[in-house]
Structure 1
Amino acid sequence: MTTRPTEEEDLIATLDVGTSSIRCLIFGSQRQVVAKHQIDIKRLYPHPSWVEQNAKEIITKSTECIQGAVTELTFAGYKIEKIKGLGISNQRETTVVWDKVSGEPLYNAILWLDNRTADLAEFFVNGKGQGERDCLQDICGLPIHPYFSALKLRWLMDNVPTVREAITRNTCLFGTVDSWVIWNLTGGVESGVHRTDVTNASRTMLMDLRSLQWSEKLLDFFDIPRAVLPVIHSSSQLYGATVGTAFAGKPIAGVLGDQMASMLGHGCITPGTAKNTYGTGCFLLANIGEEVKFSKCGLLTTVAYQLGPGAKPVYALEGSVAIAGAVITWLQQNLTIIQKAEDADELANTVQDNGGIYFVPAFSGLYAPYWDTEARGTICGLTEYVDKAHFVRAALESTAFQSCQILDAIQKDSGMQLTRLQADGGMSASNLLMQFQADMAGIPVCVPKMLEITSLGVAIAAAKAVNFVDFLQEGQPIIAGNVRQTYVPRITIEERMSKYSFWLEAVERSMHWAKDHSKAGPKTVTDAIEYAKATANEEAARHKLSRRSSFADGLTPYLVGATAGALSSLVLAGLLVLIIQAVHRR
């Protein structure tokens, strides 16, 4: 892992606070990793679609991680005194509120993929938004959706008494994970600084993309007090000195949301370059330059980075997928189909294809380009032929299919034809997935040798702030010599389009599943027949009938996938629905 230490070699440290783990990496002057420590962090699921983490655990494990990396650094023969600065990258949108007097969190951290604010989002869309989900896009670049921090903060204000009380006392502070970590590492209640960077601020739905400051219009829209918000800094500047950890006295010099750090680490610094991170979720970002451009295809406009207080910001179009690697965890922990994540590739490779099934893992709705909070996980095309290997293969393929939809949208919005895709994250170790991604995207997919590309990106931002010239390697491509493997497309356009069309149909059938149907649908057999007759397409009618109740989910492969038949078949479908509803009511 380490190279031979040089006595006076300067170093740069990074702390990556992710959704599944916390990593501390220390880099040498040639961008080599000289020390590393990683600790897993738990997610909490108090209710369906709710996802949280213990905010105090984020800090204690960050401190442990730093100590572990320093121990390894010393053991390897490097000097901690040579660390010039610290860069912090983090899971974005995740929301923390705490009391600045006691230093205690006022609630668990609400994670980015939490969906509890779905109804609140609809309230704002149909109220102040007058039915337009994108009514704030021209300010913040984002749709009104549970993904972003503003709604999470609004929910906390509305539902947690201690948060309201702290706001009344003027002791409440809000931040994304970077702000929470920075405040604690710089001294907390004694001397902590309340800061965030432009990339994380751009994910709150509260920052103006052009001014890079909090927007009064957005604050008024969500009725959020400005006093709880951190000061916005650039991605590369001195934030404050660390206190009370093994890094004590070292300046925090760079901060980036994890996906933006990944962009920088990949060298996506010119318009038209793009990267995809295959982690818990999937995040595809394309550099669009220094001018703000808004999507018409369901993508987000976000700040990619700003390398210094006086530097121009660089923007990106982004498509986010809620469930990518998380579906493998689900197969492992919930269904016990595999024993460990690494088994997924091995099992999927025992079959030639997905057996005709298409798995849409919309466990918490669909993100880009649909933004449908009512979508739910769906499997289409199920037959007796399918076994667990087909199931796992379809799960892996779902990540590539979702990424293809984002690639299509990016190219339509930007007018740029992407020529390759940089890949990183845990799932990029899957040869099957990377090859399938290249096949479906129709462009090469490049995987780097050093997978800790997010940490490299924020290390570059921190190194710039402390003038670590050797590390910056000015004039040299960031990705030079760092490509482990390039996957090139191997299938025909006809094969690609056939698979893609099946996927799109499966997605359509997953959408709006969680709608309340208690007052809709046929109540009698006669109603069921009339309902079917009134539908222009008999197959579509049977599809709708089969979805009157969530209990019908297991029948979908039969009611939806069957060949369109005579009206007598529709009557049978109606009877089945009525039976299912009766069971449901009992």
Structure 2
Amino acid sequence: MTKNSKKFIMSIDQGTTGSTVILVDQVGSLVAKATIDYRQIYPHAGWVEHNPEDIWQSVENAAFACMKQAQASADEILTIGITNQRETVVAFRKSTGEPLYNAIVWQCRRTSKMCDQLRKKWSAKIKNKTGLVLDPYFSATKMRWLIENVPAVRQAQKEGDLAFGNIDTYLMWKLSDKKIFATDVSNASRTMLMNLKTTSWDAELMKLFKVSVDCLPEIKSSSGLFGYTAKQKFIKEGTPITGVAGDQQAALFGQTCFSEGESKCTFGTGSFILMNTGHKALKSKAGCLTTVAWRLGNGKTQYALEGGAFICGAAVGWLRDGLGLIEKSSDVEVLAQQVESADGVEFVPALTGLGAPYWNAEARGEITGLTRGSTRAHIARATLEAMALQNADILLAMQKDLKKKMKRLRVDGGASMNNLLMQLQSDYIQTAVDRPVQVETTAIGAAYLAGLGIGHWKNLDEIRKIWKKDSEFRPQQNARMVAKRRVSWTKAIKKSQITK
């Protein structure tokens, strides 16, 4: 392994509710971490926005706090990696970097009607070209909405001064003082504008969504030189940025799932499962997405199957903030353990529609099966069971596509520290679940990509040796018990999709 006088890799993990910055040392260990939350904006029912300046300020503050915690200087930073909430779109002026509207967040459902109008003619073609389903989740419909509904965006496009970017693009633009206008191939694959075969922007889709190519960033490999920083509060001028990936792909990389068939599930605001399919873009017939995993310096693109549940950890947040059933999120495990089962209570957390494998933007959350004997504990238990069951739905779909059963699942994210949830997950997929020592695998993955991109680590084998297992969960329920449990869950899922 190459040694360098500089000590740390900085990794910026720009998430849905906050920004985390970590420092990783030369052997890949986490040295310092700081997180700064920022405002969530809900202008109308189903709409979700972020102020881009809030995002940038949270990154600045988290980076500054992380450096202070490690007592590190800007001279000690070898390189920067970036990972980000995907699909979220920022429109800004190229000339000034001025945001033209709030960032439209991946959870936002404002383009549901647009998707409905396009679905009959375009659904199959979009799936074939991009590996994605026609859904408000992805970036392209958000871009078209901005062009059609925001005069400042239209004017900037008319003047040739409009830039569209996912959050990785916006951060690199800010970090470099307008010198880097780029994205990586994994983020580009989530826009619904990139052709999976060519890994280039698709002319037909750009025309459909009214986006001109000069508005879009250059697509680069996930590991390699993107450019250099300008002087910032927390970093010196000329620091290289050498690793970028969407948050879920970064987590797959951080879990060292480098081989075909290896899978991970990140338990965050939503839950996201990726299964590495190697250099083949496997077309899903079971409701999963085909996406780019990453492209390294060798130029070979690796692909993955993906399935996401829009609400996972956010369901616990809703119990806390919306219903007041718990004081803090970690209380849910203790409360759920007060009962041995949910006793017929079902909670379908379709609070922003259903993702894979159902893809129903109009589905709504529901709690059913309540009796006079139902308590807070039953609802808490039903919530954890729902989080595990919706992931099981996705994994079963992936196994159907891959035509084989996976051997184990690696987990990460905040809720992966919930032992009851991890045991339920193992039970419902009838597969071993491995939790690593380091559950910040999203930020770690970006650090690995950056370290690889600057030559600090020479190959994937060096990185694979860094990963360490903390806990293993094995199925305690038999297949017959799980099948019986799934019958009730399936009925509840069907009910949630009945709309007037």
Which bin holds the TM-score, normalised by the shorter protein? over 0.9
How many correspondences in the alignment?
A: 496
Deviation at 1:272, TM superposition (A): 0.6
1:566 counterpart residue number: none
> 3-state DSSP class of the match of 1:389?
helix
1:306 aligned residue: 295
Alignment partner, residue 137 of structure 2: 147
Counterpart mapping for 1:142-181 below 5 A: 142-181=132-171
Q: 1:509 maps to what in 2?
A: 495
**Residue in 2 aligned with 1:289?**
278
For 1:93, the aligned partner's letter is E
The amino acid across from 1:343 in the alignment is D
Counterpart in 1 of 2:68? 71
TM-score (norm 2): 0.96
Q: Which residue is equivalent to 1:98?
A: 92
Question: Kindly tell me: are residues 144 and 474 of structure 1, through their superposed partners in 2, closer, same or farther at Cα, counting changes over 3 Å?
Answer: closer
Runs of 5+ unmatched residues, structure 1: 1-5, 516-586
Whole-Å separation in 1 of the counterparts to 2:110 and 2:307? 21
Provide the residue aligned with 1:35 in structure 2: 32
Q: Distance in 2 between matches of 1:334 and 1:481?
A: 37
Match of 1:487 in 2: 473
More relative contact order in 1 or in 2 (CA 8 Å, sep 6+)?
Answer: 2
AA of the residue aligned to 1:337? L
For 1:50, the aligned partner's letter is W
| Residue 382, structure 1, aligned to residue 370, structure 2 | yes
Quick one: which amino acid aligns to residue 370 of structure 1? Answer: Y
Of the three residues 461, 468, 486, the one matched with 1:475 is 461
Q: How far has the Cα of 1:237 moved from its partner? A: 1.2
Partner residue, 1:441 = 429
Counterpart of 2:13 in 1: which secondary structure?
strand
In the alignment, the residues of structure 2 paired with residue 295 and residue 264 of structure 1 have an alpha-carbon distance, to the nearest angstrom, of 22
Measured after TM superposition, the shift of residue 393 of structure 1 is 1.0
1:534 matched residue in structure 2: none
Could you tell me how far 1:7 is from its partner in structure 2?
10
The SS at the match of 2:26 is coil
Q: What are the equivalent positions in structure 2 for 1:351-430 lying under 5 Å apart?
A: 351-430=339-418
In structure 2, do the counterparts of structure 1 residues 44 and 58 end up closer, same or farther at CA, with 3 Å as the change threshold?
same
Name structure 2 gaps, 5 residues minimum: none
Q: CA RMSD in A?
A: 1.5
Query: In the TM superposition, what whole-angstrom CA distance separates every residue of 1:189-233 from its partner, at most 9, and x where no partner exists?
Result: xxx321000000000000011111101121122222112111100
Q: Please state if 1:199 is matched with 2:186.
A: yes
Shifted more, 45-54 versus 78-87: the winner is 78-87
| 1:456-477 Cα distance to aligned partner (Å, 9 max, x none) | 11111111111113xx575346
Alpha-carbon distance, 1:481 to partner = 5.7
Question: After the TM superposition, which of the residue ranges 421-430 and 373-382 deviates more from structure 2?
Answer: 373-382
* Counterpart check, 1:214 vs 2:201: yes
Residues in 2 aligned to 1:84 and 1:211: alpha-carbon distance in whole angstroms: 32
Aligned to 1:538: none
The 2-side partners of 1:465 and 1:476 are apart by 13
Matched residue type, 2:101: Y
**Contact map agreement 1:362 1:375 (CA 8 A) in 2:** yes
Q: Which amino acid aligns with 1:31?
A: G
Aligned to 2:451: 463
**Amino acid paired to 2:271:** C
1:124, 1:322 → 2: CA distance? 22
Q: Is the 8 A contact 1:73 1:80 kept in 2?
A: no
Point out the structure with max Rg over C-alpha. 1
Distance 1:479 1:93 in 2: 32
Give the aligned residue type for 1:105.
P
1:101 CA drift (Å)? 2.2
Q: Residue in 2 aligned with 1:238?
A: 225
Out of 227-236 and 479-488, give the one that drifted further. Answer: 479-488
Q: 2:52 corresponds to which residue? A: 55
Letter in structure 1 aligned against 2:98: E
User: What TM-score does the superposition give when structure 1 sets the normalisation length?
Assistant: 0.83
